[in-house]
């Protein structure tokens, strides 16, 4: 099975019964992966295969890789390109292409950031993607507001950044919807799009 990854995807690397979080920074197809160095132990030669897990573009992947070495500048670790890839769908519902203005902010340590204007480009019952000039990080927890045609305002929608990709100079952030107090506008709007394109949501 081939693997379809995006840069800045969060990876979990497991070895010796422990899991370490890192971020994929790049790759050369069929050759290697470049990731942040997650822990000092990875600066010494690793013998055992490393088990990696991640989610990207709506799929969950599991695979094994080998430790190849360390790049001093920039400080990155390089791993063998995965061969034995297991994948499964993560998305419970179909995403639809939309073009909707929205705004969001980040809460960090009880401090709320200034609101950032973004553009929604995909939407489903449980996930979304938005474009922003500002880049957030994988794992960031954000709060979004937007207005859905016919169905009204959505406020206080809590989302988590799952992956990030470049899109003509802008950053596309794929997100999971974590919490929404009133989901009726979202359910109605997504259901309407599904009916218009001949699909049941």
Tokens found for residue 90:
């993560």
Asked whether residue 1 is assigned to any structural domain, the reply reads no
109 and 18 fall within a common domain? no
Domain of residue 150, CATH code: 2.40.10.220
Q: Output the pTM of the full model.
A: 0.62
Domain of residue 17, CATH code: 2.30.110.10
84 and 107 fall within a common domain? no
Asked whether residue 2 is assigned to any structural domain, the reply reads no
66 and 109 fall within a common domain? no
107 and 67 fall within a common domain? no
List all residues 6 or more positions away from 128 whose beta carbon is below 8 Å from its beta carbon.
Answer: 95, 120, 122, 144, 159, 174, 175, 177
75 and 120 fall within a common domain? no
16-67 pLDDT, tens digit per residue, is: 888 898 888 888 888 899 999 988 888 877 777 899 988 776 677 889 999 9
162 and 127 fall within a common domain? yes
pLDDT at 88: 67
Question: Where residue 3 falls among pLDDT bands split at 50, 70, 90?
Answer: low
Domain-terminating residue out of 42, 70, 89: 89
Total domains in the fold of the chain: 2
Domain-terminating residue out of 89, 112, 138: 89
- SS3 breakdown of the chain: % helix, strand, coil, rounded to 5? 10, 55, 35
Mean pLDDT of 119-136: 91
108 and 184 fall within a common domain? yes
Mean pLDDT of all residues belonging to the chain: 84
195 has pLDDT over 70: yes
79 and 104 fall within a common domain? no
Poorest-confidence range of 43-47, 131-135, 174-178? 43-47
Domain-terminating residue out of 70, 89, 108: 89
pLDDT at 29: 82
40 and 119 fall within a common domain? no
* Dihedral angle sign, alpha carbons of residues 124, 128, 129, 130: positive
Poorest-confidence range of 19-23, 49-53, 100-104, 168-172? 168-172
Which range among 13-22, 85-94, 152-161 has the greatest average pLDDT?
A: 152-161
Distance (Å, rounded) from C-alpha 110 to C-alpha 21?
24
157 has pLDDT over 70: yes
201 has pLDDT over 50: no
71 and 130 fall within a common domain? no
Asked whether residue 3 is assigned to any structural domain, the reply reads no
Bridge partner list, 62:
53, 86
Question: Where residue 72 falls among pLDDT bands split at 50, 70, 90?
Answer: confident
Question: Where residue 168 falls among pLDDT bands split at 50, 70, 90?
Answer: low
Share of the chain above pLDDT 90, in %: 34
Asked whether residue 163 is assigned to any structural domain, the reply reads yes
| Full domain range(s) for residue 143 | 96-196
Asked whether residue 116 is assigned to any structural domain, the reply reads yes
Distance (Å, rounded) from C-alpha 61 to C-alpha 54?
5
Mean pLDDT of 68-90: 82
Q: Note the helical H segments in the chain.
A: 184-196
162 and 110 fall within a common domain? yes
Closest C-alpha among 180, 55, 197, 198 to residue 125? 180
């Amino acid at each position: 099975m081939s693997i379809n990854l995006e840069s800045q995807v969060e990876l979990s690397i497991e070895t010796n019964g422990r899991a370490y979080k890192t971020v994929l920074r790049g790759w050369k197809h069929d050759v290697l992966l470049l990731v942040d160095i997650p822990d000092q132990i990875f600066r010494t030669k690793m013998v055992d295969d490393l088990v990696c897990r991640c989610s990207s573009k709506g799929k969950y992947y599991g695979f094994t890789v080998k430790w190849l070495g360390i790049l001093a500048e920039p400080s990155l670790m390089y791993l063998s390109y995965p061969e034995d890839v297991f994948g499964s769908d993560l998305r419970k519902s179909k995403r639809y292409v939309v073009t909707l203005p929205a705004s969001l902010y980040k809460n960090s340590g009880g401090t709320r950031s200034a609101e950032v204007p973004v553009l929604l480009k995909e939407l489903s019952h449980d996930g979304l993607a938005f474009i922003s000039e500002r880049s957030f990080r994988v794992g960031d927890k954000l709060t979004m507001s937007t207005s859905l045609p016919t169905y009204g305002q959505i406020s206080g929608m809590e989302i988590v950044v799952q992956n990030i990709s470049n899109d003509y100079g802008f950053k596309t952030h794929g997100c999971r919807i974590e919490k929404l107090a009133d989901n009726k506008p979202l359910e109605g709007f997504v259901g309407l799009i599904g009916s218009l394109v001949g699909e049941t949501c």
